[in-house]
Each structure stands twice: as C-alpha cells, then as structure tokens.
Amino acid sequence: MLRTQEYFLNFGPQHPSTHGVFQIILTLDGERIVKAEPVCGYLHRGIEKLAESRTYTQVIPYTDRMDYLAAMLQNLGYVQAVEKLMGIEVPERAEYLRIISGELSRLASHLLATGVYALDIGAFTGFLICFRERERVMDLLEELTGSRMTLSYARIGGVADDAPEGWLDKVKQLMDAMPDYIAEYNGLITGNEIFQARTKFVGQLKPETAINYSLSGPVLRASGVNYDLRKVRPYGIYDRFDFEVPLGENGDCFDRFYCRVREMQQSVRIIQQAIEQIKEVGGPVQAKVPKVLKPPKGDVYHEIESAKGIIGYYVVSDGSNKPYRVHVRRPSFINLGYLDEMLRGYLIADVVAILGSIDIVLGEVDC
C-alpha cells in the first residue's frame, strides 16, 4: 500500500495573504490540511497594560490602533463604556455624528475587506474598484477628523468637533452613489464564476458551532444566526433607524463575503437616514464633563457591533484619574480561535480563502 508522509508548511509570518504579521503552521498530508496551528502576537504592544498608566481620555488614541480600519467604532466602544461608568448623557447632535462617522468607518472596513478578499482569490480589478470608493470614504473621514486611519474622533461625552461646513452634503452625495457602486462590485466579484467556485461550500460553519465558539459579526451572521447588537441591544441611538440584518444560509466563505457586501448597503441606508434627521438637531457636540475625569469606583462591560464583530470594553475604576484595568474583547482575536478546526480537511489553496473570509486585522488580534 502506498504510504503518505505528513509534512509541515509555514504560512507567514511574512506573507501578504495573512493581512499582517501572522503565522499558521500547517501540517499537510499531500495537499490536505491535517492540522493548523495559528501563531499570533507579532504585533502585541500591550495596549491593555499601557492603558493603566494613562488617563481616561488618553486611552482613546490607543483604541484607534487596534482595528485601524474601523477606528471610529473602536473609539465609540471605549467612550461609551466610560460614559456608562460615569453616567454621562451625550448631546443629540454628537450621537448623530457618531452614527455617521461610525457607519462610514464600517463602510471603509467592509470596502477593504471586499476588495482585499477579491485580491486573495486572485481578482485584481475587484481590489482596485473597491479601493476607489474606500479612498473617497477616507477623504471624508479625513475632512471630519484630520486623520485618515487613526481618527480619535470620539470624546468622553461627545465628539471632538462639529462637522465642517458642507461635509454632510458631501457624505450624502457619496451615499446616493453607493448603491450603483455596490452593484458594480456584485457584477465584478460576487457574480464571477471563478470567485464562486473558489468560495462556495468552502470553510462551512454550522450555526451552533459559531455560537459555541463565540464567533461574531459577519462570520456569525453568515451561518444564519441573527445576532447584531445594533438590533438586539441598540446602543446610542440605533433604535431610530430602519435597517435590516443580512444573513447567510450556508455559512461558507461566499456567505461571509456577501454578508459584508449587503451590510454596506445597510450602512448606506443608516447614514442617509442620519443625515436626514441631523438637519433638525442643533446644539453642542460635547457634554459638560469635568476636566479631570474620575469615574466612581466600580466596573463596567460594554459591547458594540464593530465591523469585524462584537467589540467589548471592560473598564475597572478605582476612583483615580487613571483606569485600574482596561480589557478589550476583540472580535478578530476570538474569531481566529476556531481557525484550526475550520481549515482541517481543506486544500492548501483554501487556506487563503478561509482566512480572508474571516476578515481579521492583526492590530486587533494582537492588541
């Protein structure tokens, strides 16, 4: 009888398809994956420890540097946790600006995820087309915050500044054009036969497995589990908007990809409604908070729906001006935890397809 021998293959840490510095030690039998051992931590900066020696406000820029593709959502989770701890009410106008900038961030992140996923599969045009719109979203965010990636726009009790003159019109213009662009992505990537052959029924995830392994975001919803915190436990003012939660059926790579594309459509809808509603809302964008923030002794856990999944902040206060402990529940990190089992039995060529479909950011995995 012919005997085969298992062998090891290093995927990364320096490999463009890992989306950063990330290593998978693959055990292979021919082209089949027997075992996969993810190795992370190459980008570990100790943000949780650093936060303990900074004041509450000084922590905000650190949160940018986790998921730098959707920085506003990272800011938002943290400031809302501290606001919950201190009982701060946020002015209406700031809430709307948070929604608009947050959804723009989600849009930027999903545009990158969609484009880069096409690139992972081998479709270069899809990547360029998605980056065209992502660049416009980045320009808008830059005009609002002064920065493309590390926004640091949210403040405890509001946002840094009001939107500049005419900015909302520019956002509206792009949002009105977005549905056509999304149709273009669907024509170019989603409907592509080779793309579908590479992604359909690959890396299938059962709903009960996804729940058991605490997977969240589009990864969870692609398996048909209707769990979006914006709907389940609306935070901020999400209960004022009309939007749907896109779900998948097969829980495969294609569904995860297509969930993100449809989530972009919903983000566009939310932004359009927010722009309509914000016209009526004036006033300050920052609540009156003390110069030195000293939250009362205690702890709080607050989680929101980020672009990659549920991002949660556990903040402990000892009554001083610095947090006693900040812990972040990072969606990319926890979503990666099931990678080993997900890869087993598939071919080497599927590794990139499966890893890309989870949509990770190494800054967030390693924190």
Partner 1 sequence: MEDKVTALVEELRGKFPFIEVNEQKTVIVPVDKLLEFMQELKDNYALDFLTNLTAVDYPEENKFEVVYNINSIVKGYSLMVKTSVSREKPELPSVFPIWGGANWQERKVYDLMGIVFTGHPNLKRILLDPNFEGHPLRKDFQWEGGRE
The site for partner 1 (CB under 8 A) is made up of 40-41, 44, 46, 48-49, 52-53, 209, 211-216, 225, 227, 232-233, 298-299, 301, 303, 310, 312, 314, 316, 322, 324-325, 327, 329, 333-334, 336-338, 366-367
In angstroms, the CA 308 to CA 356 distance is 12
* Phi then psi dihedrals of residue 318, to 5 deg: -110, 15
The whole-angstrom distance between residue 67's C-alpha and the CA centroid of its chain comes to 7
**Is-contact 274 96, C-beta < 8 A?**
yes
Task: Report the nearest approach of partner 1 to the CB of residue 44 (Å).
Answer: 4
Task: Report the nearest approach of partner 1 to the CB of residue 125 (Å).
Answer: 36
Nearer to partner 1, 148 or 327 (CB): 327
Nearer to partner 1, 125 or 320 (CB): 320
Strand pairing report for 154-155 and 158-159: antiparallel
In angstroms, the CA 210 to CA 255 distance is 14
Task: Report the nearest approach of partner 1 to the CB of residue 79 (Å).
Answer: 18
Nearer to partner 1, 262 or 330 (CB): 330
Task: Report the nearest approach of partner 1 to the CB of residue 322 (Å).
Answer: 7
Hunting for tokens 């052959």 — which residue is that? 197
Task: Report the nearest approach of partner 1 to the CB of residue 24 (Å).
Answer: 14
Nearer to partner 1, 96 or 338 (CB): 338
Task: Report the nearest approach of partner 1 to the CB of residue 7 (Å).
Answer: 22
Task: Report the nearest approach of partner 1 to the CB of residue 246 (Å).
Answer: 17
Strand pairing report for 310-317 and 325-329: antiparallel
Task: Report the nearest approach of partner 1 to the CB of residue 66 (Å).
Answer: 13
Nearer to partner 1, 54 or 148 (CB): 54
Q: What is the DSSP letter of 118?
A: H
Q: Which of 10, 64, 6, 12 is nearest to 41 (CA)?
A: 12
The whole-angstrom distance between residue 211's C-alpha and the CA centroid of its chain comes to 18
The alpha carbons of the chain give a radius of gyration, in whole angstroms, of 21
Beta strands in the chain (DSSP E): 7-11, 14-15, 20-21, 23-29, 32-39, 154-155, 158-159, 298-305, 310-317, 325-329
Which residue type occupies 33?
A: I
In angstroms, the CA 90 to CA 159 distance is 9
Nearer to partner 1, 160 or 315 (CB): 315
Nearer to partner 1, 77 or 91 (CB): 77
Nearer to partner 1, 23 or 199 (CB): 23
**Is-contact 301 314, C-beta < 8 A?**
yes
